Structure 1
């Protein structure tokens, strides 16, 4: 799998690489681990144009901040063709600050099927056990360095595609909202075209001595048609905006569900491990 690992003699750093087994673990009394991954990365993420242009991450690569490391790996993931996810973090027992972070492929791990879930439509597989990731740690100097890099993926890559493209692929029904707009447009056109023959037929029975000439009648019809077309255009624009809103909401909902499932899976795994430890202790020390 092309895994590389190293340990740094930094008593404020703890290895949080339990996602991918490695041979070395450096822990001390001044450090602790937090597997929730709940802390948010610094909001001051530099724009992609500022991110250093490097073909791929490498061991020992340094960044000014955690946010810069996240932006770099995200840009690399977009170019290569996958989406990243914040996985685990390490905290210092001294002040509780984040000193380590693992960024993994969003297809890391496996999705646990819910037997209670009624499958109406088969969703695209989102977890295939991919182990591609980087791990960054904060050094004594204040810089952040890559201490682990796994390059290979266990699934096809799609270079140049972003998070939104992957979401639409997993939820293809999102792209099916366009027929609604087309249907409404056709319906409005149908409502507009039907009265036209009645309008023209009724105009033929008008009094020829009417003060309105044929030119005036034609202009009135054209003006009415333009007004109707303008109204339809406004309605189409409104439906398009509504469709975009639905897409954004579905995207946010998917991300929330994914994060929630990940948190629940980790909690279940911790409970299982705790139960195993208790059973092992009871077997070692029977009453």
Structure 2
């Protein structure tokens, strides 16, 4: 399982360049069933995997809940996914083609949000249809801005969780106080009821004694 602490894996332009993995060095890759604590944690992991393997991650389609609109599934893939569409200018002529950057690559991971609150890898396509180039400097340059945004969102999420935890602790303490007061009130009510019963019993005894005196 991978928690939000994986944000430390995200590249940072202020740090020195990490060496590319050597020929014998294993690269941890995604697999079906792998879990993450958040969508951002999954993005950071896959982005680091992409950098080490030699491609650039692209955040692609998502699926939202029909009930509340929240994202419940996300597809992450290679920046060479799909094909470029040639555009025409205002006069209808084809524009000068740009260098080919998309090659219909199908490499990707498909993540789903489950009931336990985790993001799970439901599908993993490993193979690329183009050469992979491990160039930390180039890949890092293209992902710096996105990584900074992910790190900011991850930090904000952590802060929100800390605030929620503090509120939960305060609420728990408040409920405990209410519970203690409720127990005290229950005991007082019970004492009052016992006193009333005792008073009624004494009254009945006095009435019984008075009836006996009258009959005598």
Task: Give 1:93 shift.
Answer: 1.4
**Structure 2 unaligned residues grouped into runs of 5+:** 12-25, 147-216
Higher relative contact order, chain-length normalized (CA < 8 Å, sep 6+): 2
Task: Give 1:123 shift.
Answer: 3.4
Corresponding residue to 1:90 among 54, 63, 86: 63
2:7 is paired with a residue whose SS is coil
Task: Give 1:146 shift.
Answer: 0.1
Aligned counterparts of 2:27 and 2:116: Cα–Cα separation in 1: 23
Aligned counterparts of 1:64 and 1:45: Cα–Cα separation in 2: 10
Relative to 1, partners in 2 of residues 1:166 and 1:156: Cα closer, same or farther, differing over 3 Å? farther
Quote the residue 1:56 is aligned against: 29
Relative to 1, partners in 2 of residues 1:124 and 1:166: Cα closer, same or farther, differing over 3 Å? farther
Quote the residue 2:102 is aligned against: 127
Relative to 1, partners in 2 of residues 1:143 and 1:127: Cα closer, same or farther, differing over 3 Å? same
After superposition, the CA RMSD in angstroms is: 3.1
User: 2:162 matched to 1:163?
Assistant: no
Task: Give 1:164 shift.
Answer: 5.6
Quote the residue 2:129 is aligned against: 154
Q: Is the 8 A contact 1:80 1:160 kept in 2?
A: no
Aligned counterparts of 1:129 and 1:47: Cα–Cα separation in 2: 31
**Count of residues paired in the alignment:** 124
Quote the residue 1:101 is aligned against: 74
Aligned counterparts of 1:131 and 1:101: Cα–Cα separation in 2: 15
Larger radius of gyration: 2
**Structure 1 unaligned residues grouped into runs of 5+:** 1-42, 168-247, 253-287
Taking structure 1 as the reference length, the TM-score comes to 0.39
